[in-house]
Amino acid sequence: MLAYAFLAPSLLLFGVFMFYPLLRSVYLSLYSTDPAGRVASFVGPENFTGLFTSGLFLDGIRVTALFALLTVPAGMLIALVLAALTHNLLRGQRLFQFAFSLPMVLSVGSAAVIWKFLFHPSLGMLNYGLELAGFAPVPWLTSPKWALLSVSLMTVWMNLGFNYIVISSGMQGIPDDMYESAKIDGAGPVAMFRKITIPLLSPTLFFVLVVSIISAFQSFGQINILTQGGPMDSTNVFVYSIYREAFVNFRFGTGSAQALLLFLVIMLLTLIQFKWVERKVHYQ
């Protein structure tokens, strides 16, 4: 009984904020709702089939997958390079670690507002810098060609702090005697990084990869503030589409069906990563 008493607060929180919303989404996905959001009638799997026939599911997944491709590899690569450059610094290491980790202290809303000013077509610092360098200004958030790339740029910067801290901590755990042995054998910095650092860091990189992909598929705050899914749905990622269906159009049935499909997509991607990518991970 004592064990259940200790578990009770956690079970209560999981029940209220996780299991009940999940079961409620399953229930709503089988019903249509009226313009006020009230349950109207049972429609069975019609909400799911409607997502595929209307193209809403495929369009959302396409934009979300492109967003993940733009943010995950770039975010991991930049964090890996910065962690490698600062790993062996004798002076100023703490200062660089503080600077690169700084985006973590900002909320998504605050960071998005800052970048919205930077992306401003006439007053933003980015276009001001481009004009000083002799380039034409860029319609960062108003052009369908640039909008997703602009949101991805802000997302890479926002995730840099977490990726850098995790990868840098992984590097700290690699024993120094392995580098000393490699130096005695005549290995250079590039060879040591490729033959020692990357293999021993692979569990950390795999963790960052899984977390980053899940985070990319759940991104919402920066898109809501910067573009609201536009222009021309070029940044209408899956989570923003769920928000628009459920809380703007009050079609809770379609929104719940989208949420369940997104859950299945993320679970499938995670299982694929553990099935195929984890084989490349080197555990000591």
Provide the 8-state DSSP code for 247: I
User: Rg of the Cα trace of the chain?
Assistant: 23
In the prediction, which pLDDT does 90 show? 67
**Which region holds residue 120: left if phi is over 0, alpha if psi is between -120 and 50, else beta?**
beta
Q: What is the pTM of this model?
A: 0.89
pLDDT tens by residue, 166-192? 999 899 888 888 888 888 888 888 888
**Which region holds residue 233: left if phi is over 0, alpha if psi is between -120 and 50, else beta?**
left
For residues 265 and 99, which has the higher predicted lDDT (pLDDT)? 265
31 beta partners: 42
- The three-state (H, E, C) secondary structure of 102-133, written as one string: HHHHCCHHHHHHHHHHHCCCCCCHHHHHHHHC
Given a contact cutoff of 8 angstroms between Cβ atoms, the answer to whether 106 and 158 are in contact is: yes
- Summarize the confidence of residues 29-33 as an average pLDDT: 90
Half-sphere exposure of 263 (CA within 13 A, CB side): 12
Over pLDDT 90: what percentage of the chain?
A: 50
> Which residues have CB under 8 Å from 248's CB, separation 6+?
none
pLDDT tens by residue, 41-72? 899 889 999 888 888 888 889 999 999 999 99
The sign one gets for the Cα dihedral 245, 251, 252, 256 is: negative
